[in-house]
Structure 1
């Protein structure tokens, strides 16, 4: 594969009027790159232990991208404040605020998987503090963005896509991260706080996500598939289901020891059982969405599907569903889940490779730096 350009192929951003347009046109959509890269980093060691080093390298790459994107997006608010604030009224781009806390949560999970072995337990206080920050950001997105939908933005059922899920699912991702973090803490009271907070976050997110999925099914039945440029959004439905299953399995695995340490031993075993049952049920629901998303994607590929940053929607949902599958394999000791989990991770590797390469090419040319908020405003003025 090669990066093809029409003019000045060796000069970066040749499709932009000026390099500063990278900042002016920067949107939160880019944080989905961190999510997709981070989830692959987490999945590789679990499916293929020999590739743990590659997973750690991808985690470091995700950290670097997250820092870079924070700098670019922060610079946009400083240098182009009036244009940056238009995002709150935009019915699509505003949904991607949810990718920021989800990207951070993915990095924190990587810190537990890779960072503790490299830097020791001294890293834990930083991870715990950043997790609470992530909780606050996730709750802010999950409440503020829907409130903007109700009060300032223009929406219609025929224009709806699964991107509506992004703000509300952030709390669920933070819940799954809490399940990973709790067992590493050395204080029983802090473990209990993180565990209960994670259950609350899970409950804040999943019922709302299923409400949106219900509307999404109705929308597709009445108005058929979303347009080609939003084709990858069909995979986003798999995100809250896979994350919900993974979260309940992680929290259920932690519950017996943490509840017992806080004088609630009986409830811990109940929570463990509920975690397994919920994980299996949600996994089954996710399997339907997985098959449906594959069929929708094949339909769009046949008709033509232009590349854009939305293609990163293929990666994170597939990744969390693969992680939930591998976690079920550990719980149930069934070869089916282990084999399918490995197949899903292989698919994730292939998808990530394609999307990452095309993103690098598009970013080099500058054609991926497009803010719909600015473009829509320009069309209205014209």
Structure 2
């Protein structure tokens, strides 16, 4: 699987999926049970290990073993990198709730992880824009991947707010006078910048898919690429609205949430139909290669 140029990219979805469980544990379980926060910490550590494997091992295989062409590039190149942004954001949420000793360690690791993910993601997004400018839109089979740049941008915006909030709590004036407040302010400004960049790619993705609809876009697992990017962009919109106490961002977040629910229901229904027919159980890395003789 690691040597397959397309299938290997989806390894990053494992830590991203685990993030949902980790965040739910932090928000819904830790307050009710004494062991809840310990469980959340363990889950985050496991998530971090998977993230490092995805961010380091998969790009190594991309460089050494795969044969990628600029013309065939699409948003799935971001999938091995995005877990670093997701784990950094999840670490900020965890650091805001866990005890000070472990929280400070998680906070520092999360900032480093966020830096790794955001910088790499922005580099790939720049290459992706160049690919669009030179080779036009991706094929209809992967056109849904046009939404994937929203993932690191939206989650990065949400994560910078969470990390800033945790830094304000844990750092304060501990090392440098006003360090916690500075981190919180800088994180929020960074969130606004990333959110604005995300708005641009949201329009590009909508126009790209709209321009391709007439070609009858086939359903595949790539359609789940609609839920995560829009989900984290919605989360960042609501987080910005909460910080600013802005009705505009909160109402926009509510609208995006409704759209996201409708999309999730539609994709889930199509996925269930694909499971019943067996069409969803296709693994390219397990398909035997037929050699011409």
**How would you bin the TM-score normalised by the shorter chain?**
over 0.9
Report the count of equivalent residues.
293
Residue pairs, 1:58-97, within 5 angstroms: 87-97=1-11
**Residue among 64, 70, 81 paired with 1:168:** 81
Q: Which residue of 2 aligns with 1:191?
A: 103
Q: CA contact under 8 A between 1:189 and 1:262: conserved in structure 2?
A: no
2 CA distance for matches of 1:256 and 1:111? 23
1:360 and 2:254 aligned:
no
Q: Which residue of 2 aligns with 1:147?
A: 60
Larger Rg: 1
**Residue among 193, 209, 219 paired with 2:121:** 209
Q: CA contact under 8 A between 2:25 and 2:39: conserved in structure 1?
A: no
**Residue among 284, 289, 292 paired with 1:378:** 289
Q: TM-score, normalised by structure 2?
A: 0.96
Residue 164 of structure 1, CA deviation: 0.6
1 CA distance for matches of 2:278 and 2:177? 57
**Greater fraction helix:** 1
Q: CA contact under 8 A between 1:325 and 1:340: conserved in structure 2?
A: yes
Q: CA contact under 8 A between 1:235 and 1:293: conserved in structure 2?
A: yes
1:129 and 2:42 aligned:
yes
1 CA distance for matches of 2:134 and 2:84? 30
Residue 260 of structure 1, CA deviation: 2.6
- CA 216–380 in structure 1, closer or farther in 2 if over 3 Å, else same: farther
1 CA distance for matches of 2:102 and 2:73? 41
Q: Which residue of 1 aligns with 2:13?
A: 99
Counterpart secondary structure, 2:82: helix
Q: CA contact under 8 A between 1:96 and 1:166: conserved in structure 2?
A: yes
Q: Which residue of 2 aligns with 1:346?
A: 258
Q: CA contact under 8 A between 1:174 and 1:201: conserved in structure 2?
A: yes
**Residue among 246, 253, 262 paired with 1:334:** 246
Q: Deviations over 1:240-265 (max 9, x none)?
A: 00011000011111211200384555
Q: CA contact under 8 A between 1:176 and 1:250: conserved in structure 2?
A: yes
Counterpart secondary structure, 2:108: helix
Structure 1 residue runs of 4 or more that deviate by more than 6 Å after TM superposition: none
**Residue among 305, 308, 323 paired with 2:217:** 305
- CA 380–352 in structure 1, closer or farther in 2 if over 3 Å, else same: farther
Q: Which residue of 2 aligns with 1:270?
A: 182
2 CA distance for matches of 1:267 and 1:295? 42
1 CA distance for matches of 2:180 and 2:116? 21
1 CA distance for matches of 2:26 and 2:15? 17
- CA 381–181 in structure 1, closer or farther in 2 if over 3 Å, else same: farther
Residue 144 of structure 1, CA deviation: 0.6
Q: CA contact under 8 A between 1:242 and 1:317: conserved in structure 2?
A: yes
Unaligned runs of 5+ in 2: none
2 CA distance for matches of 1:182 and 1:261? 17
Residue 126 of structure 1, CA deviation: 1.4
Residue 285 of structure 1, CA deviation: 0.4
Q: Which residue of 1 aligns with 2:70?
A: 157
- CA 262–292 in structure 1, closer or farther in 2 if over 3 Å, else same: same
Q: Deviations over 1:95-122 (max 9, x none)?
A: 00000011111111111222235x4231
Q: Which residue of 1 aligns with 2:148?
A: 236
- CA 95–381 in structure 1, closer or farther in 2 if over 3 Å, else same: farther
Counterpart secondary structure, 1:360: helix
2 CA distance for matches of 1:254 and 1:381? 59
Residue pairs, 1:20-39, within 5 angstroms: none
Q: Which protein has greater RCO, CA pairs closer than 8 Å, 6+ apart?
A: 1
Residue 381 of structure 1, CA deviation: 5.6
1 CA distance for matches of 2:53 and 2:159? 20
